[in-house]
Structure 1
Amino acid sequence: MHLLWFRRDLRLTDNEIVTLASANNAAVLPFFIIDPWFYQWVDVGKARVRFLFESLENLDSNLQKLGSNLILFEGNAVEIIQELTQQL
């Protein structure tokens, strides 16, 4: 299974990582990690948080059209990735 970690580029089309992960009909786990430090940035206001979550909802909707869905995690990214790789 390929882990597809969406970080900044939340598009499915014209996204090289999406193309590579889904090559040869491989199983893919698309996910996004909300790291607690995100909310601590000085320039992160309500509008930016709202835009992020609207973008994540749009990505999930597009994934659902393809028979998948976006998994959201909240916590330390390194720990989450380590746990995912151990489980899979």
Structure 2
Amino acid sequence: MTTALTEDDQGKRVIEADGTAVGMVTEVRHGTAHVEADPSVVETLQTELDTGGNNENTYALSEGDIERIEDDTIVLRTRD
């Protein structure tokens, strides 16, 4: 599978490798997905991803953060 982000990825759910829900892709610009975070994971994301977007609960997700892209889901790489 490719990890190239496109506008077709807007609306996809974003999950951790273990299946934990992270949020939803609200926009893709210049190869970066902007993810509206689930309120339960905001604190964790603040330490793992760059902020970006229109509010404090939106995070920038680059291709390097992604393990794989599926039909309706983006799975994040496992972080050490």
| TM-score normalised according to structure 1 size | 0.26
Task: Tell me the TM-score normalised to structure 2 length.
Answer: 0.27
Report which of the two has the higher share of strand: 2
- Which structure is larger by alpha-carbon Rg, 1 or 2? 1
